[in-house]
Structure 1
Amino acid sequence: MAVTQAPASPPVDERLAAPGLLDRLVVRPEVGAGLGAIAVFVFFAVFTEQFLSFPGVATWLDVASTLGIMAVAVALLMIGGEFDLSAGVMTASTALVTALLATRAGWNVWLALPASLVFALVVGALNGWLVIRTGLPSFIVTLGTFLALQGINLGVTKLVTGSVQVAGMRSTAGYASSGQLFASTVDIGGTAYQVSILWWIVVTAVAAWMLVQTKFGNWIFAVGGSAQSARAVGVPVARTKILLFMTTAGAAWLVGSMNILRHTSVQANEGIGLEFQYIIAAVIGGCLLTGGFGSAVGAAIGALIFGMASQGIVYAQWDQDWFKLFLGVMLLSAVLVNNAFRRRAERVRR
């Protein structure tokens, strides 16, 4: 009787083989930041008593939340290949516009807030337009905006109030209801948690979804990787970059609104230097300084590391000067790790 032989299985093409777990992980920019966050969390949880208490958690989450909102927006811009050095001072500018309109012009806060948002979006659009129109590095363009806003903040505030501070928000119309949205607290376990933490989560979720699920997210990666190549395949490079600058300005408005409604006053020189913290958080979270690679979730984790470390050092009763050393080490380490992850991810994707 003839024996029927089963047909031989076709050879497996190694190029089509499923990538291993490590390969799947390294294409995610936020993996390194996640590991760093776990290490920082465990370290301060072991060596300090207050770190894991309800008030302790509320404090470092509060610090991370406003930084995280800005870091996520800055990360999107960095993935798109640009920087915004005016982001920090913009948080003060928008707060000042809201405060001056509400306390000096007598506007309802609910009218002053949209007006300051329009101001922020116009400045953001101007930044983007100048970068595209002139071809100058965004570092230079936004440095000019930073200096201009700093001068406007001080000059206008002194002219209107005779000082460098605007106060009196608590007595303005609409303050109580707007404060519920932007500056209220939620009681958990007898501890008040700022609503900014919820805003941080929402902003991160929306940005992460946009990056990986929408056409605009693809455009961001494309223009950051190579604007010339992106333009060649029909990506609207100018529109994408201008919208990214407007997104950063909009995030600054959100943080500025939270600050003015929470503290009820604002100094004209606030926000200076914060732009570097936003960039550091984004880089720690996986963003490359050269653009085209990064993650919104990673930037949020970078802000979380920042918040845990800044408060953990306080709880450990260390000299605050050590925090600057920590930031420097984290930044250099993140740059090296991110470059290694990017190279490994490129090999995996081939």
Structure 2
Amino acid sequence: MTVQATQQAVSKGGGRSRRTDAPATLSNLIRRPESGSLIATIAIFIFFAIFGGAKFTAQSGTATWLNPAAELGIIAIPVGLLMIAGELDLSVGSVLAASSMTLAIVSGHWGQPIIVGIVVALGLGLVTGFLNGLIVTRTQVPSFVVTLATNFGLAGLALGLTRAITGSTSVALTSESWAKHLFGSYVSGKFEVAIFWWIGVIVVVGWILHVSKYGNWIFAVGGDLVSARATGIPTDRVKIALFMGTAFGASLVGVIQTILYNSAQVANGQAFIFNSIIAVVIGGVLLTGGYGSVFGVIFGTLTFAIVGQGIYYTGWNPDWASLFLGVLLLLAVLMNNTFRRMALSYGPRKKKD
């Protein structure tokens, strides 16, 4: 992407989930980044609604996949933004665990007010994200390497400090009623309050990416970093802020889980590392950056959660669940690539002489 092209992207929103004044025809909708993931979500839901029976579509069945989708989505959406900007964060699992243990130790083991533990836990996430972003932007070391190192380092630090302080790898927490209602309760006895946190994240991040000027910056940084910097975009600050966003999302889930289950464990959270990336990729975001949408990540998260839980309602051997997920991921990537090529080939037609 040239400097001129990047300037046009920043001023007009090019390169993103397209802002266009053209009528929303079927052709335009098909070319959107979330089209493939939407089709996948609908197809997967219908599939398990047929083979899973009434239990899958019942309220209790819906809760079994919507609850984990909410927790995963809180992390996957900021991870999606970071990937649109061309970076990866493999430290979210350890950030979740460390934040969870921090809350349990501060407000459980040490007996401090729950608000103090929550603030310290969320602050730990923000500091970790800031350090990740700072190291990546200052050293130019690939974010894959930096955040992988952070993941192992923070996991070891959390384990060592937890054992030294409490003598155990599991710490109990008794939550205050307001914190329980705000972070760790159930609605109608089945649905986690995390669903509302997920909706809040969707609204905020959706506005940032698809409405505000910062969204243009994110797409420009992921599309062509050199050109984006040449147009005056503060690329380093954008990346640092995005790393802080992914770490904050992981910390928030850590807080939610700790208050929900009244305890924290050092080994918790590692599954979120690749699950969040898988959900984002299914949602149509490119690993190379510069392309994607919040809606796509939402559908990718729902698809991943439905597959992960839906297989238990079919009566099939759950040992094949990983194979099913692997095939789904491959098919989703192939389908998303097809829609991406259609989107990139779309443009104003030249008049014939």
Tell me the TM-score normalised to structure 1 length.
Answer: 0.90
Q: Is the CA contact 1:288–1:338 (under 8 Å) kept in the aligned structure 2? A: no
1:206 to 194, 204, 207: 204
Q: Is the CA contact 1:283–1:289 (under 8 Å) kept in the aligned structure 2? A: yes
Task: Give per-residue Cα distances to partners, 1:75-100, cap 9 Å, x unaligned.
Answer: 01100100000012211111111111
> What secondary structure, in the 3-state scheme, does the structure 1 residue paired with 2:190 have?
strand
> What secondary structure, in the 3-state scheme, does the structure 1 residue paired with 2:316 have?
coil
Q: Would you identify which runs of 4 or more consecutive aligned residues in structure 1 move more than 4 Å?
A: 17-20
Distance (whole Å) between structure 1 residues aligned to residue 319 and residue 76 of structure 2: 23
Partner residue in 1 for 2:177: 176
Partner residue in 2 for 1:76: 81
The alignment covers a number of residue pairs equal to 328
Distance (whole Å) between structure 2 residues aligned to residue 224 and residue 338 of structure 1: 18
> What secondary structure, in the 3-state scheme, does the structure 2 residue paired with 1:348 have?
coil
Partner residue in 1 for 2:213: 215
1:95 aligns with 2:100: yes
Task: Give per-residue Cα distances to partners, 1:195-214, cap 9 Å, x unaligned.
Answer: 11121122112211211100
1:137 to 142, 149, 159: 142
Q: How does 1:214-293 map to 2 (within 5 A)?
A: 214-293=212-291
Partner residue in 2 for 1:56: 61
What is the root-mean-square deviation of aligned Cα atoms in Å? Answer: 1.7
Distance (whole Å) between structure 2 residues aligned to residue 157 and residue 97 of structure 1: 9
Amino acid at match of 1:108: P
Partner residue in 2 for 1:37: 41
Amino acid at match of 2:185: S
Partner residue in 1 for 2:351: none
Q: Is the CA contact 1:71–1:299 (under 8 Å) kept in the aligned structure 2? A: yes
1:119 aligns with 2:124: yes
Task: Give per-residue Cα distances to partners, 1:292-337, cap 9 Å, x unaligned.
Answer: 1111121111111111111111111222232211221122222222
Distance (whole Å) between structure 1 residues aligned to residue 218 and residue 27 of structure 2: 24
> What secondary structure, in the 3-state scheme, does the structure 2 residue paired with 1:51 have?
helix
5+ residue gaps in structure 2?
1-20, 349-353
Distance (whole Å) between structure 2 residues aligned to residue 200 and residue 150 of structure 1: 25
Moved more, 200-209 or 222-231: 200-209
Partner residue in 2 for 1:314: 312
Shift of 1:278: 0.2
Shift of 1:349: 3.4
1:108 to 107, 113, 131: 113
Shift of 1:149: 0.9
> What secondary structure, in the 3-state scheme, does the structure 2 residue paired with 1:304 have?
helix
Q: Is the CA contact 1:153–1:269 (under 8 Å) kept in the aligned structure 2? A: no
Structure showing greater Rg: 1
Moved more, 44-53 or 314-323: 314-323
Distance (whole Å) between structure 2 residues aligned to residue 343 and residue 24 of structure 1: 13
Partner residue in 1 for 2:323: 325
TM-aligned CA distance change 1:106 to 1:333, over 3 Å: same
Task: Give per-residue Cα distances to partners, 1:19-43, cap 9 Å, x unaligned.
Answer: 7834311342111111111111111
Moved more, 248-257 or 320-329: 320-329
> What secondary structure, in the 3-state scheme, does the structure 1 residue paired with 2:307 have?
helix
Distance (whole Å) between structure 1 residues aligned to residue 293 and residue 319 of structure 2: 29
Distance (whole Å) between structure 2 residues aligned to residue 39 and residue 99 of structure 1: 41
5+ residue gaps in structure 1?
1-16
Partner residue in 1 for 2:6: none
TM-aligned CA distance change 1:231 to 1:27, over 3 Å: farther
Tell me the TM-score normalised to structure 2 length.
Answer: 0.89
Distance (whole Å) between structure 1 residues aligned to residue 155 and residue 161 of structure 2: 10
Q: How does 1:157-172 map to 2 (within 5 A)?
A: 157-167=162-172, 169-170=173-174
Task: Give per-residue Cα distances to partners, 1:126-150, cap 9 Å, x unaligned.
Answer: 0001111111110000000000011
Task: Give per-residue Cα distances to partners, 1:157-211, cap 9 Å, x unaligned.
Answer: 11111111111x12x5xx2211111112222xxx532111121122112211211
Distance (whole Å) between structure 1 residues aligned to residue 154 and residue 315 of structure 2: 37
Task: Give per-residue Cα distances to partners, 1:265-287, cap 9 Å, x unaligned.
Answer: 11111112320000000000110
> What secondary structure, in the 3-state scheme, does the structure 1 residue paired with 2:102 have?
helix
Distance (whole Å) between structure 2 residues aligned to residue 53 and residue 104 of structure 1: 40
Distance (whole Å) between structure 1 residues aligned to residue 217 and residue 22 of structure 2: 27
Task: Give per-residue Cα distances to partners, 1:215-269, cap 9 Å, x unaligned.
Answer: 1111111101111110011111000000000000110111011100000111111
Amino acid at match of 2:210: V
Identity of aligned residues (%): 47
